[in-house]
Amino acid sequence: MNHLTEPPWMIYRLPYGKFLKQDTEALETMKKAGIDLVAISPMNTANAFGEPYSVYPPIWNFDDSYDFTSLDQHIADVLTIHPNARFFCAIDLNSPLWLARRFSLDSFHSLTACSLHPEWLDLTTRYLNAFLEYTERRYPDRMAGYILACGRTMEWIDPNCFSPEDPKRASYESWCREKALPQLPIPDIREVKSATHNFFRDPEKEAHVIQWIRFINDRMADLAIHFLSSARKKIMNRKTIGIFFGYPFHMMAVGQHECERVFDTAPPDFVIGAACNTPQDLGTASGYIATLRMLERRGIAYLHECDRITSSSNRRLTAHITLKGTIWNAWNTPGEDVAGLRREFAMSLILRFHLWWFNIWGFSYSSYEVKEALAQMKSLWDQFARVSSGSNAQILLVHDPESNYFVNFYDHPKQYFLAHRIRREFSDAALPFDTAAWNDLNHINLTRYKMILFQNHVLSNPERNAVLQRFVYQPGRLIVWIHAPGILSEGRYDPENVQTLTGIPFGIDDHSIRHFPTHRSVYYATMSDLTARELRRLAKEAGVHLYTPPGNAVWSSDEFLMIHRKDAAEVPVHLPRKATRITELFSGRVVGENTDSFQETFSDSDTRLYFQESAPENREPSL
Q: Sorting pLDDT into bands at 50, 70 and 90, what band is 615?
A: low
Q: Is residue 199 part of a domain?
A: no
- Please tell me the predicted confidence (pLDDT) of residue 252: 65
Mean pLDDT for the stretch of residues 419-447: 96
354 & 457 share domain? no
Cβ pair 521, 416 in contact under 8 A: no
380 & 418 share domain? no
Q: Is residue 547 part of a domain?
A: no
266 & 133 share domain? yes
- Would you list the DSSP string of 29-91? HHHHHT--EEEE---SSB-TTS-BSBSSPPSEEETTEE-THHHHHHHHHHHHH-TT-EEEEEE
- Please tell me the total number of residues recorded for the chain in this structure: 623
Of 542, 573, 600, the domain-final residue:
542
3-state secondary structure of 576: strand
Cβ pair 88, 242 in contact under 8 A: yes
CATH assignment at residue 492: 3.40.50.880
409 & 466 share domain? yes
Of 384, 404, 430, the domain-final residue:
384
CB-based contacts of 477: which residues, under 8 Å, 6+ apart? 449, 450, 451, 452, 519, 520, 542
Q: Sorting pLDDT into bands at 50, 70 and 90, what band is 618?
A: very low
63 & 145 share domain? yes
Q: Is residue 202 part of a domain?
A: no
CATH assignment at residue 284: 3.20.20.80
Q: How many domains does the chain have?
A: 3
d(CA 202, CA 190): 15
523 & 566 share domain? no
Of 84, 29, 82, 25, whose CA–CA distance to 372 is shortest? 29
CB-based contacts of 104: which residues, under 8 Å, 6+ apart? none
Mean pLDDT for the stretch of residues 121-139: 98
508 & 424 share domain? yes
φ, ψ (nearest 5 deg) of residue 169: -60, -45
d(CA 360, CA 20): 9
Question: What is the domain range of residue 412?
Answer: 395-542
Q: Is residue 179 part of a domain?
A: no
Instruction: Give the H or E element holding residue 355.
Output: strand 354-358
What pTM, to 2 d.p., does this model score? 0.96
- Please tell me the predicted confidence (pLDDT) of residue 5: 66
Amino acid at 587: S
342 & 419 share domain? no
Q: Give percent above pLDDT 70 in the chain.
A: 97
Q: Is residue 284 part of a domain?
A: yes
Rounded-to-10 torsion of CA 252, 257, 263, 268: -40
pLDDT in tens, 144-178: 999 999 999 999 999 898 899 999 999 999 999 99
Mean pLDDT for the stretch of residues 60-87: 98
256 & 126 share domain? yes
Whole-number Cα distances in Å, 155 to 165, 322, 523, 592: 21, 23, 35, 44
Of 320, 354, 384, the domain-final residue:
384
